[in-house]
Chain A
Amino acid sequence: MKQFSLNLLENFNKPFVYLENFFKIRALLDTGADFPVWTVDEIFLEKIGGVKINSNISFGGFGGKTTGNLYRMKYFQLGDLIFPEMHIVAKKLSLPCQMILSAPMFHDLIYEIDNVHHKLNIAIPDNKSNIKNLIIYDKEGKMYVACTAVNEN
């Protein structure tokens, strides 16, 4: 089992993760979210290599529904986890962070929010890769998200 930890910011009452090795971004860990969300202006997503692949897709969040644009990032790094060409929805929101991390990103992983030591602890089982594919796709008018490790079928 491979394990690593990321710092949770202590200025917040919610689990905001400090992504020291990804542009020092602050990201909210939202286990109720389906899709990862880019919450600042899309121009910045494009500046770090994001490419828009779909517009005005509908997704749920914050108790309701909204729309955003679908992007493919060049890559995303969450500690020791690498998400090459990760799909992400861009929706500008007034949040004290730049990204929302969603539950499917942690598929097949063990993760712990330690509010005592302010750590996000992640364990990768031995038979799982740290390289993960996360895609968001449209199937008959509904949006789906899938996250698999690179060497999975």
Chain B
Amino acid sequence: MEKIDFDERMTWTEIVKKYPHKWVGLSSIDWDGGKILSAVVKYVDDSIDKIFDRQITVGDVEAEYTTPDELWSNLNSGLTFLPSENNYN
């Protein structure tokens, strides 16, 4: 996990451009409803693990993936689609 030492506030667009395909640990998030307008990037990593650990134990950052639709398409590729049983009581 890379720690970003300078406190630079960036827009979400700038964050995605600077850290594509990465998990970022964001602090001081400026929200507009469910939209991240800007934030300070404190950590960057290829995996969510260390950032999320800090999120739930320290609570000073929130983990966000910069290109979420890419993760989704990776998940569905290569799966064998079989009928699933829905045991909903």
- Of the candidates B55, B68, B81, B85, the one whose C-beta lies within 8 Å of that of A96 is B68
Interface residues on A, range: 35 or more
Which chain A positions have C-beta within 8 A of B65? 96
**Complex CA–CA separation, A94 to B59 (angstroms):** 22
Interface residues on B, range: 35 or more
Which residues of A84-112 have CB atoms within 8 Å of chain B's CB atoms?
93-96, 98, 103-104
**Complex CA–CA separation, A102 to B71 (angstroms):** 20
Q: Nearest-CB distance from B36 to chain A (Å)?
A: 7
Q: Which residues of A contact B (CB under 8 A)?
A: 7-14, 16, 18, 23-24, 26, 34, 40-41, 44, 47-48, 60-65, 93-96, 98, 103-104, 117-119, 142-146
Q: Which residues of B contact A (CB under 8 A)?
A: 12, 31, 33-36, 48-49, 52-53, 55-57, 59, 62-65, 68-69, 71-72, 74-76, 79-82, 84-89
Contact between A44 and B64 (Cβ–Cβ < 8 Å)? no
